[in-house]
């Protein structure tokens, strides 16, 4: 069965960087785009971008361009999301989510990781 297992909670100081991992299993990792979505406490979902695990190509939301980097390691079927120059308003749960359709980025993400809480505090 498809599973996405994310790394554990992080506490970071303002200005630091955080790297969240998402290990995929149960399907061909390179066959499906991976999205990253975050949710601040008590707030709505926010799309951050996607990565094509096959080519490494990425597409970032304008809000995060210059601060976010999405990468992957196909040898271990793992996607990564790194966010730099952290601020207090980056405190959120970060999710990876697999696109439903092979080889494409759509609005339908059918498998989600369990979420990783990133807390930014001095």
Partner 1 sequence: SSELTQDPAVSVALGQTVRITCQGDSLRSYYASWYQQKAGQAPVLVIYGKNNRPSGIPDRLSGSSSGNTASLTITGAQAEDEADYYCNSRDSSGNHLVLGGGTKLTVL
Asked if 110 touches partner 1 (CB under 8 A), the answer is yes
Q: Which stretch binds partner 1 (CB under 8 A): 11-19, 23-31, 54-62, 79-87?
A: 54-62
Q: What is the DSSP code string of the chain? A: --EEEEPPPEEE-TT--EEEEEEEESS-GGGEEEEEEEE-TTS-EEEEEEE-TTT--EEE-GGGTTTEEEEEEGGGTEEEEEE-S--GGG-EEEEEEEEEEESS--S-EEEE---EEEEE--
Asked if 1 touches partner 1 (CB under 8 A), the answer is no
- Closer to partner 1 by CB, 89 or 122: give it: 89
Pairing status of strand 3-6 against strand 92-102: unpaired
Tell me how far apart the alpha carbons of residues 113 and 98 are, in angstroms, rounded to a whole number. 9
- In the range 23-52, which residues lie near partner 1 by CB under 8 A? 35, 37, 44-47, 50
In whole angstroms, the minimum distance from the beta carbon of 53 to partner 1 comes to 17
In whole angstroms, the minimum distance from the beta carbon of 26 to partner 1 comes to 15
Could you tell me how many residues of this chain bind partner 1 (CB under 8 A)? 23
Asked if 20 touches partner 1 (CB under 8 A), the answer is no
Q: Which residues in this chain contact partner 1 in the complex, by CB under 8 A? A: 35, 37, 44-47, 50, 59, 61-62, 95, 97, 100, 105-110, 112-115
């Amino acid at each position: 069965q498809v599973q996405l297992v994310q790394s554990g909670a992080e506490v970071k100081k303002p200005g630091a960087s955080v790297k969240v991992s998402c290990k995929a299993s149960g399907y061909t990792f390179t066959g499906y785009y991976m999205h990253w979505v975050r949710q601040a406490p008590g707030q709505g979902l926010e799309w951050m971008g996607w990565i094509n695990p096959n080519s490494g190509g990425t597409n970032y939301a304008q809000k995060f361009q210059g601060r976010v980097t999405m990468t992957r390691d196909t040898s271990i079927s793992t996607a990564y999301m790194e966010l730099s120059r952290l601020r207090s308003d980056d405190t959120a749960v970060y999710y990876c989510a697999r696109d439903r359709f092979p080889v494409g980025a759509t609005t339908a993400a059918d498998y989600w990781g369990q979420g990783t809480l990133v807390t930014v505090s001095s």
